[in-house]
Every structure is written in C-alpha cells, then in structure tokens.
Amino acid sequence: MSAPTTTAPAAPPSPSGRRRGAAAAAPPRGRRRTPLLLLLPAAVVMIPLVAYPIYQLGLLSVLNFGQAQASGGVPTSFVGLGNYRKILSDGQFWSVLSQTLGFAAFCVVATLAVGATLAVLLTRVGRVPRLVLTTAAMAAWAAPAMTGSTVWSFLFDTNLGLVNKTLVGIGLDGFHEFNWFYDKWTAFLIVGAVVVWHSFPFVMVTLYAGIRAIPAEVLEAAALDGANTWTTFRRITAPMLRPILTIVVIQSVIWDFKVFTQIYVMTEGGGIAGQNLVLNVYAYQKAFASSQYGLGAAIGVIMLLVLVIPTVLYIRSLRRTGNEL
C-alpha cells in the first residue's frame, strides 16, 4: 500500500515535524544528552517489556528447544536457521500465509465499510438514535473475543442454532441441520463477520470524531461557493479525513492479520482438515501445542517481520498527522 502523498489542505503549509527537528540539529553540547534523558523513562518500560522478549524470541528461533529442553531432560542445541528452513519448506505454511492475507484483507475492507457507513450515519441522526447506536457498538467492542465467538457459534450451531431455526421457520428447508462450518468459505464468512463485529466500533468512533473535527466554517464556505454534497465530500471531507483513515486502515491490518481467538474458537482450532487456518493458529498448532518452542519462535519472528511493514507505515502516518513519536 502506498503512503498518502497529500497533506490536509486546511493545514497551513508548514515544514513537517521532522524537518523542524533537523533545523535544530546543532544544539549546544550540554543539551545533547537531554533527548536521551527524556527517553529514559520510556526505555525503562520498553526494554524489559518489548526488547527483551523479542531478543528471547530471536534466540529461541535458532535453537532446538522443546519441553524436554525446558525442563532440563535434554541439552539445548543450536540449529541455526533450521527452524526457519523447516517452516519455509512446508507447503502448508505458504497456503496458510496467503489465506491469512486474504482473510485479513477481507476483514479490513469490511470493517472499514461498516465503520465508515455508520460513522456517517451517526452525524446524520438525532441524539437518541445516536446514543443507541453508540452504546450498541461499544457493547460489541467491549465483548471479549472469547465470549463473542462462543455466542456467535451458538447462533450458527448446526442442530440448535437460532439462525438455522429461523431460516427453516421462514420456509428455507435447505438449512435444516445445515453446517455453516463444513464449507471453507461459509466458515470464513461467519468468522469474518465476527471479526468485523468486534472491530468496527473503533473505526466508527475514530471516523466520527474525525468528521466532527472538520471546522464548520470550511463547510460553510464551501456551501457559499455553491458546492454540492458530493463535491463537499470529495474536496473537503475526504482529504481532511485521510490521515485518520490511514491510521485506521493500518491499525485494522495489524489487528486482522493477528486474528486468533475467533478462528480458534469458532472453527475449533482451524476448521475441518485445517481449511480455516490462519498464521497465528497455525503457529499454535504446529509448535506451541506440542511444545516445540523453537519452531514456534521462528514462526513468531516471521510474523513479526511481516507486520513490521504496516507498522512502519503506521508510525510514518502518525508523524504526518503531527503526533510526533
């Protein structure tokens, strides 16, 4: 995906944050340490919580380390890139990877479509419907993934599910004891719906706030200039929302790439014959469930690398909006 190239036209043309920092690049000697000192509190938290685990992950990924090694039954041995070779030469890994990317893409698009539509709707309705919609969305957001997935599984249960009962009730006999998780695509569709259900509120709230933040004068000026609704959206709303939209997209990509709970719970660990596996569940089945920590760590490193790309884009877009890191 390409980084946005247009800055918000409403913002006065000013040098970006980074360039401003570069302009002040030659401070007096004594003040050089100040940035490092200021970073210290963050470093105290980040190094033990993030850097150290990642270091451990990398270390484990080049070792043959299973339960026998963890409890001291067998000595640990260095296998170099052996774990990586094993994964990358596994045909299933590649099919699961492409499946994960496809599923994440579907979820991101659907989440954005639902979230954006409802955000626009929020700006158009009265106070009471807005309150109802926001509360409902917050409830979906607040529901733990485990609970949400279980409840949705009940709804789509083959024998006792409300959905099948209702469909048969309105005369669609084909859905009598219909197994939604038998076919790969219907299973993905339902799990995708649950993922979207869990994540659209974030998109909706963020975009709603973004739309609200557009100054009324700008819209008013456009109206005075004779702009219709479409032009207003294309020339004003969309460009001013673009930074927020970018953040929301990248955040969704990261979330949906890492989906675990919904797949694991609803398809009972990856679906019939593993047809609904995504990368996280694959890593769990392949490695952690059988205590092959070295292999699991290697999958973790690969996932980390795949995720670093959208993360870098995310950080760049954060800077662009003025939220210096």
Partner 1 sequence: MRIVRRTTAAAVLAATCLAAAACSPGTAVPAGEKAADDKSGTLQVWLYNEAGNAAKEAVVAKAVTEFQSAHQGVTVNVSYIDTDASARAAKMKGAFNDPSSAPDLVEFGNTDLPGYVAAGGLAEIGADLDKWADKGDLDPAIAKTAVLDGKTYGLPWWVGVRALYYRTDLFTEAGLAAPTSYDELVAATRKIHAAHSDTFGIAIGGKYTFGALPFVWDAGGDIAAKDGDKFKAAINSAASQTGVKRYTDLFDEAGCPAQQCADLTGGKTVDLFAAGKAAMAILPNSSRSKVDAGAAKDKYAVVPLPGAKAGSIAPAFAGGNNLGVMKAAKHRTLAVQFAQLLAGPGYQEQMYDAMGNLPTLKSVNAKVAAKDAFLKPFTDTIAAGTRFVPLDQAWAQIDAQAVIPTMLQQVVTGKADVAKASGDAATQITSAFAAR
The contact set with partner 1 (CB under 8 A) reads: 47, 52, 55-56, 59-60, 63, 65, 67-74, 76, 158-159, 177-179, 181-182, 268-275, 285-286, 289-293
Cβ nearer to partner 1, comparing 13 with 73: 73
CB 192 within 8 A of CB 267: no
Q: At what angle do helices 184-212 and 238-257 cross, to 10 degrees?
A: 140
Nearest distance from residue 55's CB to partner 1, in Å?
6
Cβ nearer to partner 1, comparing 57 with 211: 57
Nearest distance from residue 158's CB to partner 1, in Å?
6
Cβ nearer to partner 1, comparing 68 with 138: 68
Helix (H, G, I), strand (E, B) or coil at 4: coil
Cβ nearer to partner 1, comparing 235 with 316: 316
CB 104 within 8 A of CB 256: yes
Nearest distance from residue 136's CB to partner 1, in Å?
32
Distance CA 65, CA 79 (A): 10
The secondary structure of residue 263, as a DSSP letter, is H
Nearest distance from residue 271's CB to partner 1, in Å?
8
Which residue's structure tokens are 């170099």? 80
Q: How many CA atoms lie within 13 A of 279 on its CB side?
A: 27
Nearest distance from residue 179's CB to partner 1, in Å?
5
Cβ nearer to partner 1, comparing 69 with 311: 69
The secondary structure of residue 78, as a DSSP letter, is E
Helix (H, G, I), strand (E, B) or coil at 77: strand
